Amino acid sequence: MAKGKESKPHIGIYGRRNNGKSSLINKLAGQDIAIVSDFAGTTTDPVKKSFEITGFGPVILIDTAGIDDIGELGGKRIDKTISTIKTIDLAILVITENTFGDFEKMLIDEFKKTDTPFFIVHNKSDIQALSDDSRTYIVSQTNVAITEFDTLKSEYPEELIRLIKKTIPESSYKITSLVGDLLSYGDIVLLITPIDIEAPAGRMILPQVQAIRDIIDNDAVAIVLKEREVDAFLRKTKITPALAITDSQIFTKADASVPRNIPLTSFSIVLARLKGNFEAYLKGTPKIADLKDGDRVLMLESCTHHVSCDDIGRIKIPRWLTNFTGKKLEYDVVSGLDKLPRNIKEYALLVQCGGCVITQKQLVNRLQPAIDAGIPVTNYGMAIAYVQGIYERSVAPFIKKTNSSMDYL
CATH number for the domain harbouring residue 73 = 3.40.50.300
Q: Are residues 92 and 196 in the same domain?
A: no
Angle separating helix axes 158-167 and 21-29, nearest 10 degrees? 90
Q: What was the pLDDT predicted at 51?
A: 77
Q: Are residues 212 and 309 in the same domain?
A: no
Identify the sign of the CA torsion 108, 111, 112, 118: negative
Is 30 a domain residue? yes
CB 183 within 8 A of CB 220: yes
Q: Are residues 161 and 228 in the same domain?
A: no
Is 215 a domain residue? yes
Q: Are residues 16 and 142 in the same domain?
A: yes
Strand order in the sheet with 330-335: 330-335, 296-301, 349-352, 377-379
Q: What was the pLDDT predicted at 156?
A: 64
Number of domains present in the structure of the chain:
3
Closest CA to 192 of 220, 224, 222, 231: 224
The pair phi, psi for residue 332, each rounded to 5°, is -115, 135
Is 27 a domain residue? yes
The pair phi, psi for residue 375, each rounded to 5°, is -95, 130
Is 409 a domain residue? no
Q: Are residues 144 and 59 in the same domain?
A: yes
Is 65 a domain residue? yes
Q: What was the pLDDT predicted at 122?
A: 94
Q: Are residues 104 and 9 in the same domain?
A: yes
Q: Are residues 238 and 330 in the same domain?
A: no
Domain end (from 172, 197, 214): 172
CB 218 within 8 A of CB 180: yes
The Cα–Cα gap between 328 and 295 comes to 8
CATH number of the domain where residue 360 is located? 3.40.50.11410
Closest CA to 274 of 354, 350, 218, 351: 354
The Cα–Cα gap between 254 and 238 comes to 17
Q: Are residues 9 and 98 in the same domain?
A: yes
CB 394 within 8 A of CB 265: yes
The Cα–Cα gap between 53 and 58 comes to 6
CATH number of the domain where residue 197 is located? 3.40.50.11420
Q: 367 lies in which domain range?
A: 276-392
Q: What is the 3-state secondary structure (H, E, C) of the chain?
A: CCCCHHHCCEEEEEECCCCCHHHHHHHHHCCCCCCCCCCCCCCCCCEEEEEEECCCEEEEEEECCCCCCCHHHHHHHHHHHHHHHHHCCEEEEEEECCCCCHHHHHHHHHHHHCCCCEEEEEECCCCCCCCHHHHHHHHHHHCCCEEECCCCCCCCCHHHHHHHHHHCCHHHCCCCCCCHHHCCCCCEEEEECCCCCCCCCCCCCHHHHHHHHHHHHCCCEEEEECHHHHHHHHHHHCCCCCEEEECHHHHHHHHHHCCCCCCEEEHHHHHHHHHCCHHHHHHHHHHHHHCCCCCEEEEEECCCCCCCCCCHHHHHHHHHHHHHHCCCCEEEEEECCCCCCCCHHHCCEEEECCCCCCCHHHHHHHHHHHHHCCCCEEEHHHHHHHHCCCHHHHHHHHEEECCCCEEEC
Angle separating helix axes 267-275 and 380-387, nearest 10 degrees? 130
Closest CA to 46 of 66, 64, 23: 64
Q: What was the pLDDT predicted at 32?
A: 58
Q: Are residues 129 and 158 in the same domain?
A: yes
The pTM for the full model equals 0.69
Is 252 a domain residue? yes
- Report, as ranges of residue numbers, the positions in the chain whose pLDDT lies below 70: 1-7, 30-45, 151, 153-156, 171-175, 196-202, 303-310, 400-409
Q: Tell me the per-residue pLDDT of 173-196, one tens digit each, with 9 for 90 and over.
A: 666 788 999 999 999 999 999 876
**Single-letter amino acid, residue 310:** D
Domain end (from 154, 172, 190): 172
Q: Are residues 155 and 44 in the same domain?
A: yes
Is 227 a domain residue? yes
Q: Are residues 119 and 250 in the same domain?
A: no
Q: Are residues 302 and 251 in the same domain?
A: no
HSE, side-chain direction, 13 A CA sphere, residue 282: 17
CB 375 within 8 A of CB 348: yes
Is 404 a domain residue? no
CB 51 within 8 A of CB 59: yes
Report the Cα–Cα distance between both ends of the chain, in Å, rounded. 27
**Single-letter amino acid, residue 60:** I
- Within 8 A by CB and 6+ apart from 200, the residues are none
Q: What was the pLDDT predicted at 185?
A: 95
- Beta strand pairing call for 188-192 and 243-246: parallel
Q: What was the pLDDT predicted at 405?
A: 44
